Structure 1
Amino acid sequence: MSKRSLSSSGPEEKKQRRLEEEPRDLEEDEHFVPYVPLRERRKKELEKLEKFKQKRSRFEEQEKPKETTGGPEEAEPEIGPRSKVSLLDQHSELKKKAEAHKVSELDKQKEEEEKILHNIQETRALMSVGELAKGVVYKESLVTGWRPPHYINVASKGRHERIRKKWHILTEGENLPPPIKTFKEMKFPRPILTALKKKGITRPTPIQIQGLPTALSGRDMIGIAFTGSGKTLVFTLPIVMFCLEQEKKLPFAPGEGPFGLVICPSRELANQTFDVVKDFTSHLQAEGYPVVRPLLCIGGVPMKDQIDRLKRGVHIVVATPGRLMDLLDKKIMNLDVCRYLSLDEADRMIDLGFEEDIRTIFSYFKCQRQTLLFSATMPKKIQNFARSALVQPVTINVGRAGAANLDVIQEVEYVKQEAKVLYLLECLQKTPPPVLIFSEKKSEVDDIHEYLLLKGVQAVAIHGGKDQEDRQWAVREFKELRKDVLVATDIASKGLDFNNIQHVINYDMPNDIENYVHRIGRTGRCGKTGIATTFINKACEESVLRDLKALLMEAKQRVPPFLTAIDSLNDDLVDLGDDHGCAYCGGLGHRITDCPKLEAVQQKQAGTIGRKDYLASSAADW
């Protein structure tokens, strides 16, 4: 080989030649990994896994406490593709585990909700300042002269429970008065029975079957029943009977009274309640019974007439909080002999900001009184708060608090904002008059009213911006069927009773599901069937639509496709347990942890921290 050829060979060729000349033993190389077939590798892995399982089972047997009785525990069925357990058994086992996990999640959520409810719970009792300062605690209910018939009083508890079960009456409390199925057995005088017959009322409703004996017995009460169930009679009839009894014993002197007080959140509702009381007292007076003098105290009307009647002495006062506070502050009226207090739509008054006014009114009472609270929507937060003012309270619940009236056919339609007014005329043709139209804003009420008048519809309108005379005239014209349509804000949705309302139209979806329940409750009253049509679109808040969807499902109503597509929060958790829905606002589509109303209240409270209200005064009447 020439020198040129040797010199031309590169370093790679030299390295290759050196490796060939000096062979080495690869098995001695520390980096050498021999090839193992896939089958062998899998076999070794399974052997390792089997050894690990055996060690783990021996360890669990050592740690497991020995049972004193019974045989060996049943091993959990092995789950997996190689298991000897059937697929059906595996499915049932997985389902049990999922349900157990779901229940544990519900328990965690309930515990969290109880903490939230406890934190927002009002710590101050709903009592007068004097009672709190002196530590006065009433332990016994007031004693009245009314007693149930002897044969009902001595009847077995099983008989009473069968009646409550038949009429779906849920009660809480000790020593419950017996339910009574007729007005005659409740010992009402003949003029009262005659007045009820003229109203077309021949037998008591479920809330009256249990509520009237409870109120007549002198017990404090929380009454919850759907709209149109006859709650007004439960507190008006007893107050008339108690005042009649007092007048017979010792006639009221000039300037004395009242003996009974009814507080309502709106002027229209107070006016309606006053008319009911006045009707009963006039029938009693016509039959020769002592005169029972009622008085209406509301804002928007001259105070002079109210002062003149107070000077003559009154037995019953029906009032709104603002005017009542004014009369008490000026010492025109006192509650020295008042022994009966009823709060109609109690939860609504607290929501409207009348809570401090109610506390102040309580401080004008000189001794114990019988307190009754009524509403169709009373969440647990309000119930717990109200119990602080009651003595041995009896809670009467007909249906779920906040549930819709089952006699109302609910129809929800998607209507664009710009097409609402045009579609309104088409909806009015669904049923004959009278028809109620609700809107959230005063300006929209005026616009709808003007549009209907231009189209030749006999319509009237009411809202908080109108004079009291105009409001009373509009309600009177509508009740006496001289007008076909009433357009109103939510002031007409709380407790007002209109005869034979065929149709309720919600021009917009209210911001609160409780207002929706009250609105549609103006129809389908006293066992009659009505229709409620609600317009919704993209402008509606999704949280309210979730509550609406859940409410429709609860009432077995048709849920439109655009609501079906909305996912309700915690659907699975809502189906479990008795305390479904939000404990703060009563909405079924969410829990209290996601309550938009609670969040808005907390934000409002946070915004007022550090501010001093120099213009503090009682809330104005609606």
Structure 2
Amino acid sequence: MSFKQFSFDRRIMAGIHACGYETPTPIQTKAIPEVLKGRDVMGLAQTGTGKTAAFALPIMQRLLEKKFSGQGPIRVLVLAPTRELALQIHENFMELGVEAGIRSAAVFGGVGAMPQIQAARRSSVIVACPGRLLDLMNQGVIKLDKVDTLVLDEADRMLDMGFLPDIRKIMSKLPQRRQNLLFSATMPDDIRDLADKILYRPATVQVANTAPAKTVEHVFYPVSQHLKNNLLFKVLEQTDYDSLLVFTRTKHKAKNLARRLAARGHKATFLQGNMSQNQRQRALDGFRDGSFKVMVATDIAARGIDCDRITHVVNLDVPDTAETYTHRIGRTGRAGRSGSAFSFVTRDDLRLMREIEKAVGYSIEHRTLEDFDYDKPNTHPAPAKRGGGRKPAADRKPAGERRPGRGRKPAEARDGDESRKPAGERKSGGRRKPGGGRKPSGGPAKSSDERRDSRPSSKRKSGGPKGNQEDSAKRKTGRPSRRKRRPSRFSKV
């Protein structure tokens, strides 16, 4: 079986030969005919199965058949979750379409927008991350009113990253009549709902990607959580590897671990979301050309890593699902090469271990190192949570033995204390005078109404508070007040 069966244009065949493609992969064999027919396609395939060419080749063939210009306006929109994946898809379009004259532009954040805007205006294919694309659309510098093909690649990861609202806003600006292609490594309920809304009578294309490559060796390393880094250092000393990819759960851990590996003499780098695009590109290029032998990354940042040199994948933190595990280790053992997948597991990972063994199809070896101290105590335990609520009833003292309030004696001690001064002779704190700081009244107590009225009694109007109410009522009627107003010092003389 070869690519000749699809009857591609000779210019596209030239791009296929230039990229070194000889025989189509299973996902390409199933997806290309459906896309050429103009049908909507739901593709289930993982990274490394050749799905980019599965939609790129037939899309370019349809552009040539419709005699669209390869230099704009935008006819094809491809949405990807990460900058690395968007750049990788863009490069595939450029390599496959170089002879056909079809231009592609990549649109993603972290770099200047003006070069991307200029490239998009001269291209027929846009590969974009949703956030940056929506920003440029709101500015009115990119228009998608001529798009007739929409591709959602790694749709499951885009939903995990919270891009669904942006995707809906982008799709609302596209023409209603278009071809929709959705590719995903997994099929959660959210993806099914999205597919039901945007795909019309789709052709479902699925390859058996739940089983990892048979050329990959799987090993579990049981270890305590606080000893994972030390075990990794020991394993790397005893492992002969070309390029090694380490997965962690958090970007903070990825950064710190890469620095610790570099301090131990390993050529290590890291990949995480807070890096600028130039930093990420330097790390990826260095890992691909061998300048860095070890790459530490998170699942989201690792989307788009395409390196044939990877011989080992280490799961420092076990993934949440067996599908993610298969997706991670799919970066080694490619093209019939051998590879190894090491997973550092704790007692909390028993359920995931069983799921992984079910996906692999056999019981995975549990390996330990003889010269490693697995009983070493944790010298830096996690700090205890503050607060903690009340103590148990058995640990609390009886009511009669409890410590009195701070700075205050018990009631029985206060009653029998002869050294206490009378209230009028006590020393007051702050600026208060003896006796509480209040002057003796020297007469009967004033009523509450008299205390509110600070005027002398001779000037008060009779009637108490009622008089005040009548006086205020007269003011509201607009009658001039009897009180003489003093001239302002700013008034004219």
Query: TM-score, normalized by length of structure 1?
Result: 0.56
Would you say the 8 A contact 2:81–2:129 is kept in 1? yes
Structure 1 residue 553 corresponds to structure 2 residue 373: no
Would you say the 8 A contact 2:15–2:97 is kept in 1? no
Deviation at 1:405, TM superposition (A): 4.3
> Is the partner of 2:115 in helix, strand or coil?
helix
Distance 2:273 2:332 in 1: 22
Aligned mate of 1:251, from 69, 72, 75: 69
> Is the partner of 2:3 in helix, strand or coil?
coil
Would you say the 8 A contact 1:345–1:495 is kept in 2? no
1:484–1:191 Cα change, 3 Å: farther
Q: CA RMSD in A?
A: 2.3
Structure 1 residue 531 corresponds to structure 2 residue 340: yes
Distance 1:201 1:412 in 2: 35
Deviation at 1:245, TM superposition (A): 3.6
Distance 1:317 1:200 in 2: 24
Residue 172 of structure 1 corresponds to which residue in structure 2? none
Would you say the 8 A contact 2:104–2:120 is kept in 1? no
Would you say the 8 A contact 1:523–1:531 is kept in 2? yes
Distance 1:194 1:425 in 2: 47
Aligned mate of 2:115, from 283, 297, 305: 305
Residue 570 of structure 1 corresponds to which residue in structure 2? none
Residue 286 of structure 2 corresponds to which residue in structure 1? 477
Look up the equivalent residue of 1:260 and give its one-letter code. Answer: V
Q: After superposition, give the CA deviation of every residue in 1:324-352 in whole Å (9 maximum; x if it has no partner).
A: 11111112111111011111111221222
Bigger Cα displacement from structure 2, 512-521 vs 329-338: 512-521
> Is the partner of 1:239 in helix, strand or coil?
helix
Residue 443 of structure 2 corresponds to which residue in structure 1? none
Residue 30 of structure 1 corresponds to which residue in structure 2? none
> Is the partner of 2:219 in helix, strand or coil?
strand
Aligned mate of 1:238, from 54, 58, 73: 58
Structure 1 residue 224 corresponds to structure 2 residue 44: yes
Distance 2:193 2:252 in 1: 37
Would you say the 8 A contact 1:298–1:323 is kept in 2? yes
Residue 367 of structure 1 corresponds to which residue in structure 2? 176
Residue 386 of structure 1 corresponds to which residue in structure 2? 195
1:514–1:352 Cα change, 3 Å: farther
Residue 516 of structure 1 corresponds to which residue in structure 2? 325
Bigger Cα displacement from structure 2, 405-414 vs 344-353: 405-414
Structure 1 residue 189 corresponds to structure 2 residue 5: no
Structure 1 residue 416 corresponds to structure 2 residue 224: yes
Deviation at 1:191, TM superposition (A): 4.5
Percentage of matched positions with identical amino acids: 37
Residue ranges of structure 1 left out of the alignment (5+ in a row)? 1-180, 563-622
> Is the partner of 1:185 in helix, strand or coil?
helix
Look up the equivalent residue of 2:362 and give its one-letter code. Answer: Q
Would you say the 8 A contact 1:220–1:391 is kept in 2? yes
Distance 1:485 1:372 in 2: 35
Deviation at 1:215, TM superposition (A): 1.1
Structure 1 residue 462 corresponds to structure 2 residue 280: no
> Is the partner of 1:508 in helix, strand or coil?
coil
Deviation at 1:375, TM superposition (A): 1.8
Q: After superposition, give the CA deviation of every residue in 1:211-233 in whole Å (9 maximum; x if it has no partner).
A: 11111111111111243211111
Look up the equivalent residue of 2:223 and give its one-letter code. Answer: V
Aligned mate of 1:504, from 313, 334, 343: 313
Deviation at 1:469, TM superposition (A): 0.7
Look up the equivalent residue of 2:353 and give its one-letter code. Answer: L
Deviation at 1:486, TM superposition (A): 1.0
1:198–1:531 Cα change, 3 Å: farther
Residue 205 of structure 1 corresponds to which residue in structure 2? 25
Look up the equivalent residue of 2:41 and give its one-letter code. Answer: M
Deviation at 1:515, TM superposition (A): 3.1
Distance 1:484 1:380 in 2: 38
Aligned mate of 2:158, from 341, 346, 349: 349
Distance 2:362 2:287 in 1: 29
Structure 1 residue 214 corresponds to structure 2 residue 34: yes
Residue-pair matches, total: 366
Distance 2:15 2:337 in 1: 21
Deviation at 1:369, TM superposition (A): 0.9
1:390–1:430 Cα change, 3 Å: same
Look up the equivalent residue of 1:389 and give its one-letter code. Answer: I
Residue 268 of structure 1 corresponds to which residue in structure 2? 84
Would you say the 8 A contact 1:553–1:559 is kept in 2? no
Distance 1:273 1:252 in 2: 17
Which structure: greater helix fraction? 1
1:392–1:188 Cα change, 3 Å: same
Distance 1:507 1:252 in 2: 45
Look up the equivalent residue of 2:285 and give its one-letter code. Answer: R
